[in-house]
Amino acid sequence: MDCIHVSGIRAYGYTGYLAEEQVLGQWFEVDVKLWLDISTAGKTDAIEDTLDYRSVINLVKQMITTCKFSLIERLITAIADAILQECDRVTQVQVILSKPAAPIPDFGGRISLEVTKSRD
């Protein structure tokens, strides 16, 4: 199956376990991998025969900016579910969500979660 990779989707959101995270917010970064058949678009050169990935970028940004969950596990699941619901052509999606600046003392790394979901 063919894949479209979209990486580096950044948005500011208010998901987090700590009260400060839900009030002050923080940056999130998302990468998605979308499985779909692009063979028709490969022949027709028509965007209507594939997935317009701008819609996925906008969907991910909207989810990050409007959803307010305690856990990033809930946010990443909501993003994957929304992509499968909104994008009929996508048969499977992989979402990697990162918190580049986790509020953990003496930790300068990033926290990332990965979820892969298929259409039932």
If we measure between CA atoms, which residue out of 73, 69, 83 comes closest to residue 22? 69
Give yes or no: 99 in active site: yes
Whole-angstrom Cα distance, residue 63 to residue 54?
14
Measured distance CA(79)–CA(81) in Å, rounded? 5
Given the residues 33, 61, 68, 99, select the one marked as catalytic. Answer: 99
Sheet holding 92-99, edge to edge: 2-13, 26-36, 92-99, 111-118
Q: What is the dihedral of CA 45, 46, 49, 51, to 10 degrees?
A: 100
Closest of 89, 99, 13 to residue 47, by C-alpha: 89
Question: Looking at the annotation, which residues are catalytic?
Answer: 99
